[in-house]
Amino acid sequence: MMDVRFEGMKDKLKNVKKVIVVCSSKGGVGKSTLSYIISCILSEDMVVGVCDFDFTGPSLHILFRTDMSFTESDGINPPEIYKNLFFLSVTFFSKDKPLAIRGSSISDVILELLAITNWDGVETIVIDTPPTITDTILEILKYFHDAEFFVVSSNSILSYSTVLKFISIIVERTGRLPILVMNDISGVGFGNKSNSTFYQELLNYSKRTIFFPYLNNIEEYYGKIEDIRKIESVRKFKRELNFYEKI
Amino acid sequence: MHEFSLARATKDTIVNKYNGLHKFIIYIGQIQQIDIELFKEALFEEIRELNIDVVFEEIPAKMKCNVCQYVFIYDKNSLNSEEQEDIHFLPETIYIYLRCPNCKSNDFTIVEGRGIFVKPL
Ligand SMILES: Nc1ncnc2c1ncn2[C@@H]1O[C@H](COP(=O)(O)OP(=O)(O)OP(=O)(O)O)[C@@H](O)[C@H]1O
Ligand SMILES: [Mg+2]
Ligand SMILES: [Zn+2]
């Protein structure tokens, strides 16, 4: 007996060239913020679909300040919330109500969304994920073997040590090193921790490390896509990403 | 309507996963309230030239409570049409709207009646 959604998903995703997964072992390290920023800067140059796969704690609709929802035609069409930027969230269906789901239901939500969503014209999909190795990450590892994993760490020793283990799971499942984003969420920089062995090990355990600085008044930039693109440190981040040539 | 997408996915499953087989049973879970007539019509159109026989069986949506183990059947009429519409697209929104009739928990498992499955006969 075979679930038809597997073939459905294949068909819906067949023209998507690249999937970027923003993830971490740690909560509150800036996964959603970076998903927001990465999709804002990528959509300057290509058509991007951004997915909120944190079903129990969705945030992207707040970061984008959008209440747009899908339209329907042979599946669902994610709304274009800004030029070349399409958005998918479980909040289209759950509205503002809490969704308490576990285990296989999480797998079902992912499969269902991927099997019914039309990504026509979308070249790159950016996925925001919940913290830790949960069903969401395991499902993504199953379906998006070739994805580019952006593992986010904040500047704390606790974060370094768990992120190391998280990366080793990703390396084992994908056979590739992820990109490490060191996010300065507390604004103290990384200098004071740079002697920690975890820190050194972490930098060696990624194919590239990108530092993202503390942004003042970050909440003022929610929903201001043009403004966020103009921030100098965001432009620098974009130059450092420089993976476009691989698309 | 995503019945067309589902019909295409069903055809792709038949063709790609069960290449060479000709008789299938299609199980349609009731939780999503697929428009069966529309789905059948779309599927027949998809497989028109393929020499494939299909029969359909609807599976009632059966839940089991994780707290008190009570087993119950989802009755769509217990929810309003907007709630049913959310469940049509994303069955897991049922955890928002439905409660175990015995203990009122929403920590239950959908045991049967979710999604569309293909089985060769
Ligand atoms: N570079 C930054 N500069 C300033 N504040 C930041 C930065 N990155 C993240 N933050 C702040 O840190 C908090 C956590 O960020 P965010 O919600 O993006 O993390 P998360 O990893 O997605 O969390 P969760 O694990 O709950 O999903 C937010 O208040 C956000 O505004
Ligand atoms: Mg988040
Ligand atoms: Zn119960």
Assigned CATH class of B2-120: alpha beta
Q: Within 10 A of A243 (CB to CB), how many other CB atoms are there?
A: 14
Touching check for B2 and chain A: CB below 8 Å?
yes
Helical H segments across chain A, by residue range: 5-12, 31-42, 60-63, 91-94, 104-116, 135-143, 157-174, 197-204, 225-230, 232-241
pLDDT on residue A199: 85
Task: Name residue A80's amino acid.
Answer: E
Most confident of A26-30, A189-193, B3-7: A26-30
User: For residue range A12-53, what is the model confidence (pLDDT) as tens digits?
Assistant: 999 999 999 999 999 999 999 999 999 999 999 999 999 999
Reading the block at residue A42, the tokens are 């990528």
Long-range interactions of A207-210: CB distance < 8 A, separation 24+: A207/A176, A207/A177, A207/A178, A207/A179, A208/A179, A208/A180, A209/A179, A209/A180, A209/A181, A209/A182, A210/A179, A210/A180, A210/A181, A210/A182, A210/A237, A210/A240, A210/A241
pLDDT on residue A172: 95
pLDDT on residue A96: 84
Ligand of minimum distance to the alpha carbon of B106 = 3
Whether residue A194 is predicted with pLDDT greater than 90 in this model: the reply is: no
Q: Under 8 Å CB-to-CB from B22, ≥6 apart: which residues?
A: B51, B52, B53
d(CA A181, CA B29): 43
Among A33, A127, A163, which residue has the most ligand 1 atoms within 8 Å of its CB, making it the best to mutate? Answer: A33
Neighboring chain B residues of A105 at a CB cutoff of 8 Å: 92, 95, 109-110
Closest CA to A54 of A82, A22, A29: A22
d(CA A156, CA A38): 23
pLDDT grade for B1, boundaries at 50, 70 and 90: low
d(CA A138, CA B46): 33
Domain ranges, ordered by start, for chain B: 2-120
pTM of the model: 0.95
Q: Are A176 and A34 in contact (CB under 8 A)?
A: no
Whether residue A247 is predicted with pLDDT greater than 60 in this model: the reply is: no
pLDDT on residue A243: 59
ipTM of the complex: 0.93
pLDDT on residue A245: 47
Per DSSP, the three-state class of A137 is helix
- The larger pLDDT score, comparing residue B113 to residue B1, is at B113
pLDDT on residue A244: 47
User: For residue range B43-94, what is the model confidence (pLDDT) as tens digits?
Assistant: 999 999 999 999 999 999 999 999 999 999 999 999 999 999 999 999 999 9
Ligand 1: which residues within 6 Å by Cβ? A 27-33, 54, 57, 59, 130-131, 183-185, 212, 214-215, 218
Neighboring chain A residues of B95 at a CB cutoff of 8 Å: 99-101, 105
Percent of residues, chain A, with pLDDT higher than 90: 81
d(CA A233, CA A100): 37
pLDDT on residue A204: 86
d(CA A226, CA A41): 9
B90–A90 CB contact, under 8 Å? yes
Task: Phi first, then psi: give them for residue A53, nearest 5 degrees.
Answer: -100, 15
A72–B8 CB contact, under 8 Å? no
Touching check for B56 and chain A: CB below 8 Å?
no
Neighboring chain B residues of A1 at a CB cutoff of 8 Å: 27, 117-119
Q: Are A62 and A71 in contact (CB under 8 A)?
A: no
Per DSSP, the three-state class of A240 is helix
Whether residue A192 is predicted with pLDDT greater than 80 in this model: the reply is: no
How far is the alpha carbon of B21 from chain A, nearest alpha carbon, in Å? 13
CA distances from B4 to A191, B45, B89, B113 (A): 56, 10, 13, 19
Per DSSP, the three-state class of A129 is coil
Whether residue A143 is predicted with pLDDT greater than 90 in this model: the reply is: yes
Calculate the average pLDDT of chain B: 95
d(CA A22, CA B74): 36
Task: Name residue A208's amino acid.
Answer: R
Q: Could you tell me how many helices (H) and strands (E) chain A has, helices first?
A: 10, 11
